[in-house]
């Protein structure tokens, strides 16, 4: 879905586009609608989705007006030669908020490119889009559950917890992953996943701290719930707001806040339950693990995120390298300047590198951009903010919220500057 003008392309490419544009109107519309639905389903933000659909439709001889939100897409279609640009067809697609799925995102992009290039006819392209399977086998499900624990243990290391915190966070993270896997099959459990997981994680951390080994409870609970934190959603929301996609940005921000409230409520209920049962562990912090362990843990955490982002195996080295590089830039930039500038620098670097990668390979820059910022997004700060406010520590909650806002703005500003440094050729 390249944005290069058709007039600058080789003759065979222009001929392929012309052939695609001669397909029946309903076939072209169906292909664009299914592409948009799939991009939304696989976690594409509103600005990029709308840009990709506009460019795809133009290549197929259609003029479109696209509106995307976290729960719906509206697309109006007209023939490109229609001087009045009056919509001949309008499609409304009702959807649930999507999750990042890098493998399927790449597949959708490749199918669209082949249709545009004339390597696939539109009917065959539509068929391939419809047959993309979102189901994964039991072995892959078990692998994802294990990576919940792996990522949780990694975050405990990055937060400089003690060795007991790392082991406890990884173990509780496994249980949270199992709960998430079960919840995916039940609508009732899906709605209460965050609150239930926070309750379970807090109770288990308290019991471990009392009867097995002392823990730094806050570090352990935060790390064990890391995969459920809506840090990426918050970042996407602020970026959509900064690009004037106001409805989508506000809706996504509200969704993130609702998730944080569920997490904070689950933790609050667990704390009150433990207090009523007399289960009150000590709050002493453990000696932090050595600094060298951060870089070892980062390798395992990057692998865990590659699995949870459902990247194709051939893309694992790229995704892992992006996640490690993004964190390394933040770490050293924060030590040299300030934490906020470190986040800005990492966002700008990963944004520019993702555009360079997309230009060089004609593949989605999301393969670099999304994993490159995953360890920078401030989901844990959002959780702490809501937890403090719910616990009536309003002033400290407001102070934490200010830190959250600064980091969000720094990250989004970095991504925007990255697009300015290297202009994106592809919308994805």
Alpha-carbon gap, residue 133 to 108, rounded angstroms: 12
- Indicate the length of the chain as a whole number: 428
**Which residues have C-beta within 8 Å of that of residue 60, sequence separation ≥ 6?**
20, 21, 23, 28, 31, 32, 115, 116, 122
Structure token pair of residue 60: 């197929």
What's residue 279's pLDDT? Answer: 86
Structure token pair of residue 71: 């729960």
CB 352 within 8 A of CB 364: no
Tens digit of each residue's pLDDT (9 = 90 or more) over 293-304: 999 999 999 999
Confidence of residue 10 (pLDDT cuts 50, 70, 90): very low
**Does the structure show a pLDDT above 70 at 6?**
no
Tens digit of each residue's pLDDT (9 = 90 or more) over 18-68: 456 667 888 899 999 999 999 999 999 999 999 999 989 988 888 889 999
**Which residues have C-beta within 8 Å of that of residue 292, sequence separation ≥ 6?**
none
Structure token pair of residue 230: 């809506």
Phi first, then psi, for residue 348 (nearest 5°) are -65, -40
**Which residues have C-beta within 8 Å of that of residue 274, sequence separation ≥ 6?**
202, 203, 206, 280
Structural element, H or E, at residue 62 = strand 62-69
Alpha-carbon gap, residue 379 to 375, rounded angstroms: 9
**Which residues have C-beta within 8 Å of that of residue 153, sequence separation ≥ 6?**
166, 167, 169, 170, 173, 223, 297, 300
Look at residues 122, 114, 128, 120 and name the one whose alpha carbon lies nearest to residue 23.
Answer: 122
Q: What is the pTM of this model?
A: 0.88
Mean pLDDT to the nearest integer, 164-180: 95
Alpha-carbon gap, residue 359 to 425, rounded angstroms: 6
Mean pLDDT to the nearest integer, 97-105: 92
Mean pLDDT to the nearest integer, 295-317: 94
Tens digit of each residue's pLDDT (9 = 90 or more) over 371-391: 999 988 876 677 777 676 666
Mean pLDDT to the nearest integer, 419-426: 85
Residue 144 has a CB neighbour count (10 Å cut-off) of: 18
Structure token pair of residue 186: 């039940």
What's residue 88's pLDDT? Answer: 76
CB 74 within 8 A of CB 58: no
What's residue 330's pLDDT? Answer: 93
Mean pLDDT to the nearest integer, 181-190: 84
**Average pLDDT across the chain, whole number:** 87
What's residue 5's pLDDT? Answer: 38
Mean pLDDT to the nearest integer, 214-242: 90
**Which residues have C-beta within 8 Å of that of residue 41, sequence separation ≥ 6?**
95, 98, 101, 104, 134
Question: Which residues pair with residue 89 across a beta bridge?
Answer: 77
Alpha-carbon gap, residue 18 to 319, rounded angstroms: 36
Higher per-residue confidence, 282 vs 403:
403
Mean pLDDT to the nearest integer, 78-88: 71
Confidence of residue 9 (pLDDT cuts 50, 70, 90): very low
**Does the structure show a pLDDT above 70 at 291?**
yes
Confidence of residue 255 (pLDDT cuts 50, 70, 90): very high
Look at residues 39, 77, 47, 52 and name the one whose alpha carbon lies nearest to residue 247.
Answer: 47
Tens digit of each residue's pLDDT (9 = 90 or more) over 264-275: 899 989 989 999
């Amino acid at each position: 879905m390249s944005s290069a003008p058709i007039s600058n392309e080789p003759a065979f490419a222009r001929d392929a586009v012309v052939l695609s544009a001669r397909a029946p109107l309903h076939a072209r519309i169906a292909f664009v609608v299914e592409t948009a639905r799939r991009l939304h389903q696989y976690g594409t933000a509103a600005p990029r989705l709308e840009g990709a659909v506009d460019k795809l439709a133009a290549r197929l001889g259609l003029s479109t007006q696209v509106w995307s939100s976290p729960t719906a897409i509206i697309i109006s279609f007209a023939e490109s030669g229609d001087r009045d640009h009056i919509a001949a067809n309008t499609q409304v697609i009702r959807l649930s908020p999507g999750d990042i799925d890098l493998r399927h995102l790449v597949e959708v992009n490749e199918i669209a490119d082949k249709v545009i290039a004339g390597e696939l006819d539109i009917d065959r392209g539509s068929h391939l889009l419809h047959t993309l399977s979102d189901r994964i086998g039991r072995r892959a499900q078990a692998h994802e559950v294990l990576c919940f624990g792996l990522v949780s243990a990694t975050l405990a290391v990055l937060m400089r917890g003690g060795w007991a915190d790392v082991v406890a966070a990884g173990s509780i993270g496994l249980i949270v992953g199992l709960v998430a896997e079960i919840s995916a099959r039940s609508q009732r459990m899906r709605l209460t996943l965050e609150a239930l997981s926070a309750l379970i994680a807090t109770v288990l951390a308290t019991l471990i701290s009392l009867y097995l080994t002392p823990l730094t409870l806050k570090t352990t609970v935060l790390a064990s719930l890391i995969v459920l934190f809506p840090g990426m959603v918050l970042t996407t929301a602020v970026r959509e707001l900064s690009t004037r996609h106001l409805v989508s940005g506000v809706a996504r921000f509200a969704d993130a806040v609702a998730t944080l409230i569920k997490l904070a409520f689950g933790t609050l209920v667990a704390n009150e339950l433990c207090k009523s049962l007399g289960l009150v562990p000590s709050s002493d912090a453990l000696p932090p693990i050595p600094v060298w362990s951060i870089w070892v843990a980062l390798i395992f955490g990057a692998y865990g995120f590659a699995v949870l982002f459902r990247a194709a195996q051939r893309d694992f080295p790229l995704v892992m390298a992006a996640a490690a590089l993004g964190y390394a830039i933040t770490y050293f930039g924060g030590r040299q300047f300030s934490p906020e500038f470190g986040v800005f620098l990492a966002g700008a670097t990963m944004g520019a590198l993702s555009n360079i990668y997309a230009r060089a390979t004609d593949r989605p820059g999301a393969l670099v951009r999304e994993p490159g910022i995953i360890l920078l997004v401030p989901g844990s700060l959002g959780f702490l903010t809501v937890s403090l406010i719910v616990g009536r520590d309003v002033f400290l909650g407001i102070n934490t919220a200010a830190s959250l806002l600064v980091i969000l703005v720094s990250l989004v500003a970095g991504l925007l500057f990255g697009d300015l440094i290297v202009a994106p050729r592809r919308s994805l």
